[in-house]
Amino acid sequence: MYNFEYQNPVKIIFGKGEITKVGQNIPEGSKILLTYGGGSIFKNGVYDQVKSSIKGFEVIEFGAIEPNPHYETLMKAVEVAKKENITFLLSVGGGSVLDGTKFIAAATRFSKGDPWNILSRHATVTDAIPIGAVLTLPATGSEMNSGAVITRVEFQEKLAFMSPFVMPKFSVLDPEVIFSLPERQVANGIVDSFVHVIEQYLTFPVNSPIQDRFAESILKTLIEEGPKVLANRTDYEAAANLMWSSTMALNGLIGVGVPQDWATHMIGHELTAFHGIDHAQTLAIVLPGVMHIKRDQKKDKILQLGDRVWGINEGNDEERINLTILKTVEFFESVGIPTKLPNYQVGTDTIDTICDRFTKRGYKVGEKADVGPAEIRLILEDRL
- The footprint of ligand NZQ (CB under 6 A) covers 37-41, 44, 67-68, 93-97, 99, 136-137, 139-142, 145, 147-149, 177, 180-181, 185, 188, 192, 250, 265, 279
Q: How far apart are the first and last CA of the chain?
A: 37
Of 139 and 284, the one with the shorter C-beta distance to ligand NZQ is 139
Which of ligand NZQ, Zn ion, none interacts with 132 (beta carbon under 5 to 8 A by kind)? none
Which of Zn ion, ligand NZQ, none interacts with 30 (beta carbon under 5 to 8 A by kind)? none
* Rama region for 68: left / alpha / beta (φ>0; ψ in -120 to 50; rest): left
Residue 99, interface with Zn ion (CB under 5 A)? Answer: no
Residues 132-191 that bind Zn ion (CB under 5 A): none
x-marked contacts with Zn ion along 186-215 as a string, rule CB under 5 A? ------x-----------------------
> Closest distance between Zn ion and the C-beta of residue 260, in Å?
13
Question: Beta partners for 159?
Answer: 150
Residues 6 or more apart in contact with residue 341 via CB below 8 angstroms: 285, 347, 350, 380, 383, 384
Of 219 and 312, the one with the shorter C-beta distance to ligand NZQ is 219
Separation of alpha carbons 291 and 268, rounded Å = 14
Of 192 and 270, the one with the shorter C-beta distance to Zn ion is 192
- Four-residue CA torsion sign, 41, 45, 50, 55: positive
Separation of alpha carbons 169 and 264, rounded Å = 29
Separation of alpha carbons 229 and 225, rounded Å = 7
Going by the DSSP 8-state scheme, the letter that residue 10 receives in this structure is P
Of 118 and 139, the one with the shorter C-beta distance to ligand NZQ is 139
> Closest distance between Zn ion and the C-beta of residue 48, in Å?
30
Separation of alpha carbons 256 and 1, rounded Å = 9
Of 192 and 382, the one with the shorter C-beta distance to Zn ion is 192
Separation of alpha carbons 43 and 62, rounded Å = 17
> Closest distance between ligand NZQ and the C-beta of residue 132, in Å?
16
Which of ligand NZQ, Zn ion, none interacts with 163 (beta carbon under 5 to 8 A by kind)? none
